[in-house]
Structure 1
Amino acid sequence: MAASHLLLHLFLSLLTIKHLLAAQTTLFHGGFLLDVTKDPQTLQYTTHLLIGTPQLHTKLVVHLSGQSLWLNCAQSSSSRQLVSHGSLPCSMAKSGAQILVAPTICDIHEENPITGSANFGDLAEDIVTIVGDLGSAETVERFLFSCSGENLLKGLATGAKGMLGLGRSKIAFQSQAINNFDIPRKFTMCLSSSSDGFILSGASISKSLSYTPLISPNGQDGYYVNVKSIKINGRRLALHDGGQPVKGLEISTVVPYTTMKTPIYETFTKAYATAARSMNLTSVAPVAPFGVCFSSQQTVPEIELALQSELVKWRIQGRNSMVQVSDSVMCLGFVDGGLDMSSSVVLGGYQMEDHILEFNLGTGMMGFSRSLLMEGNSCSNLKRTLVSNPTESL
């Protein structure tokens, strides 16, 4: 009898071990998932990390092109260590920047792109606990980040303590995650208008993506792609930036709506209004920050961005082009960025919502899906599928 109980216990233990191993492998070969929520007041996308000892539930604004993870270090942590100047982590963080005066503690440049403010913060290292939605145990690793002053938090979503940079620098969060967890050099992002967005590190989740190269116009940091042309209802626009053709399109999570330099915006909105009138849409007084608004109707002109070639197209339709500002008024979700923009066109968060975006740092390519809404799907549904069936490709 005792032997039978022992065999049963051993059998159940083997099943448990098998289940745990399966749970680990379903973490996309070491990848992990972060929840992303849209803040309704600021329209920023936020996530959370557990940082330090004791663990601090830290709310961070997602900055796709951010070159580092920075946060306000007002709360103490027994596991936090400041990084000394001249150390290997400091050299990695500085990335060859000229140092005129060598401080004792490594200080690095921090930036808040919402307000445009910047300063230097002390580089530190602390424990980050990754808790995903894929059923695995907690994963703990040490990450580098900079400690910001309280003033740098201005303009961030309520409760946010810093920014999660996903850029291509050596100390951006994604770069550190790749090194810490030995995962593929890629991440997938799906933004939602609610709390159902996510960032998935180290994995691809769809085979139905179009791909275009990531570029670095004039050596700029961040994520940029070529844009060959912009069409409205199939009609190609002649767009120029200071007499030159528009070359790079910047992808941004901190710009709420797609933003264009004034000459480009004027040409674009004039053509859109013409196409809208031909579809019998009625123009109404604009509602800030938008410049073109209509009486609410069902069908609106289609916007098409031809990226690497005329065959690689990003279509912006309905939900991603129009913003419902009242029961009777909808506005074109594109804004005038003035003449001082560093980029000609910045693709904003609203236009990316409910699209799969894959950033492959290994191949230097960006993959993107058509709108999930056009297929009766959404980031919310996709996230639930991932949680319940992590190995399933969509």
Structure 2
Amino acid sequence: MATSSIIQFLSFSLLLFLCSSFAQTSFRPKALVVPVTKHAPTLQYLTTINQRTPLVPVSLVVHLGGEFLWVDCDNNYVSSSYRPVRCRSAQCSLATKNTACGDCFSGPRPGCNNNTCGVFPHNPITRTSTSGELAEDVVSVKSTNGFNPGKAAEVSRFIFSCAPTSLLEGLANGAVGMAGLGRTRVGVPSQFSAAFSFHRKFAVCLSSSTGVIFFGDGPYHFLQNVEASQLLTYTPLLINPVSTAGVFTAGTPSADYFIGVKSIQVEDKAVALNTSLLKIDSQGNGGTKISTVDPYTILETSIFKAVTKAFIKAAAARNITRVAAVKPFEVCFSPDNVLATRLGASVPWITLVLQGQSASWTITGSNSMVDLRDSGKNALCLAVLDGGVEPRTSIVIGGYQLENNLLQFDLATSRLGFSSTLLGRQTTCANFNFTSNA
């Protein structure tokens, strides 16, 4: 076993020991479920968990690549079960390589205690990081059998970070922090799987209205009798060796989820690209990551130009007329000659050819075109943005492209399962039954 694999195994074993000790021992769910709603003004995805003693509902922005859960502790954080994580403790070593100890120069309160473990919660919307106290408190979410929500499952000492109220800038109204689902030992998925000893997997299914996140293995059952875990195609999850967090210690890998795009096709025709941009270099630049905090897919400039040129040409062959750009979109079309189908607007399909046997992610009109007619603009716009020259990441697959696609992140085997659009199965990510108890 390679040294890095041994370290990873020992680290997770420590997490398993710590979290298993703090979970309720009387109830061991096989999986957990939380709801997701899309906040239209900000295009952010929100989930709700119960935290603290007594339990209160906490609204959080879903951050797929976030290192950990963080919340505002300055404003009305009241809990009898709050515990600051001490400097150089086992919990601190799970969360950070940083050995600095934090002190507080006012009376002790949540977020402000002496000799505590310091971390750096990050807001990717404003690209702001700040110092924060690592802490533990009760977290409770619903269990699931894959069909319905069941009884609540509780972790009594869930690791998270406090943050100042100022870090909430740019977040949806009502949000008091972010749920970090990233590839770390204290990310939300890792803590839940360790606490309840279920599979190190989680699945995300977003929509323009409501959606769902599962922690643990399937089934993932949606109305119309669709068991989405049976629809998955798999591709490896890649590790970016350089952190993409706002503040990090040298040698820390990225918590974001990267996949290997080998090529891009429009109408089954390969687009000519600089393929070196599709790889992650030794400095952590390039490659493709999946994001829930970027509303639309972002492409490096040369990739953007090549893909949009091919798309415009294929659309013209269908007699689809291009119209003036509507910010933030650069490529827009008249809806007059575009048929509406079950899979969205009838436009050229975009396909990401991925690593893995016959792994290709097809983006149909439902995930490629934004219909602006409800906002008074007679236009359908391609939901792809120009990311500029030399961005940190060459391709960022944004939230709009994820909607009504089930994505399963398997941390143990380092692979992504993706369903492609569920619309072809006559269901959506809004069709998980939250109304009945298992």
TM range (shorter): 0.7 to 0.9
Residues 129-163 of structure 1: CA deviation (Å, up to 9, x unaligned)? 21357353222212011110111100111110000
DSSP-derived class of the 2:305 partner = helix
Give the equivalent residue in structure 2 for 1:207: 230
The 3-state SS of whatever aligns with 1:259 is strand
**Do residues 139 (structure 1) and 178 (structure 2) align?**
no
| Whole-angstrom distance in 2 between the partners of 1:334 and 1:211 | 24
Q: Which amino acid aligns with 2:58?
A: T
Aligned residues: 357
The residue that corresponds to 1:81 in the other structure is: 83
Unaligned runs of 5+ in 1: 1-26
Task: Choose the corresponding residue for 1:287, options 326, 329, 343.
Answer: 326
- SS at 1:264's partner residue? helix
> For residues 181-330 of structure 1, what are the structure 2 equivalents within 5 Å?
181-195=196-210, 197-205=211-219, 206-219=229-242, 220-240=254-274, 244-247=276-279, 248-296=287-335, 297-298=338-339, 299-309=346-356, 311-326=358-373, 328-330=378-380
Alignment deviations for residues 274-294 of structure 1 (CA, whole Å, 9 cap, x no partner): 111111100100111111000
* Aligned with 2:406 (options 356, 379, 383): 356
- CA contact 2:150–2:437 (8 Å) conserved in 1: no
How far is 1:340 from its partner?
4.8
Q: Could you tell me whether the CA contact under 8 Å between 1:28 and 1:202 is conserved in 2?
A: no
State the shift of 1:308 in Å: 0.5
CA distances 1:6-32 after superposition (whole Å, capped 9, x unpaired):
xxxxxxxxxxxxxxxxxxxxx995211
Superposition map of 1:7-18 within 5 A: none
Distance between the aligned counterparts of 2:84 and 2:28, measured in 1? Answer: 32
**Distance apart, 1:92 and its partner CA:** 1.2
TM-score by length of 2: 0.78
Q: Which portions of structure 1, spanning 4 or more consecutive aligned residues, are displaced by more than 4 angstroms?
A: 100-103, 386-390
Superposed CA deviations along residues 186-239 of structure 1, whole A, max 9, x for unmatched, are 0111111102x0001111231221000000134433101100100001110111
Q: Within 2, Cα distance between the matches of 1:100 and 1:57?
A: 32
Contact 2:277 2:394 in 1 (8 A): no
Q: Secondary structure at the match of 2:30?
A: coil
The answer to whether the Cα contact below 8 Å between 1:228 and 1:309 also exists between their aligned partners in 2 is: no
Give me the whole-angstrom Cα distance separating, in 1, the residues matched to 2:28 and 2:289: 28
Q: Within the alignment, does 1:115 sit opposite 2:149 as a pair? A: no
CA contact (8 A) 2:291 2:397 kept: yes
**Contact 1:29 / 1:202 at 8 angstroms: preserved in 2?**
no
Residues 389/77 of structure 1: CA separation in 2 closer, same or farther (3 Å cut) = closer
Q: Give the secondary structure class of the aligned counterpart of 1:217.
A: coil
**Does the alignment pair 1:105 with 2:116?**
yes
Match of 2:173 among 158, 161, 184: 158
> 2:13 maps to what in 1?
none
Q: Which moved more, 1:218-227 or 1:228-237?
A: 218-227
In the aligned structure 1, how far is the partner of 2:356 from the partner of 2:318? 28
* 1:31–1:291 Cα change, 3 Å: same
Structure 2 regions of 5+ residues with no counterpart?
1-26, 104-114, 220-228, 243-253, 280-286, 340-345
What are the within-5 Å matches in structure 2 for residues 365-384 of structure 1? 365-381=415-431, 383-384=432-433
- Aligned sequence identity (%): 42
Q: Does residue 130 in structure 1 map to residue 141 in structure 2?
A: yes
- Secondary structure, in 3 states, of the residue corresponding to 1:180? helix
Pair 1:148 & 2:163 matched: yes
Contact 1:52 1:77 in 2 (8 A): yes
In 2, Cα distance between the equivalents of 1:62 and 1:347? 15
Q: CA deviation at 1:40?
A: 0.5
Question: Residue type matched to 1:301 in 2?
Answer: P
Q: Match for residue 65 of structure 2?
A: 65
Which amino acid is the alignment partner of residue 230 of structure 2?
K
Deviates most, 200-209 or 285-294: 200-209
Deviation at residue 311 of structure 1 after TM alignment: 2.0
Q: Which has the larger radius of gyration?
A: 1
Deviation at 1:185, TM superposition (A): 0.5
- Aligned AA (2:350): I
Identify the residue that residue 5 of structure 1 maps to in structure 2.
Answer: none
Post-superposition Cα deviations, 1:83-114, rounded to whole Å, max 9, x if no partner, equal 111111111111x33x3567511110111011
Evaluate the alpha carbon distance shift between residue 137 and residue 276 of structure 1 in structure 2; reply closer, same or farther with a 3 A threshold. same
Q: Does structure 1 conserve the Cα–Cα contact (< 8 Å) formed by 2:29 and 2:143?
A: no
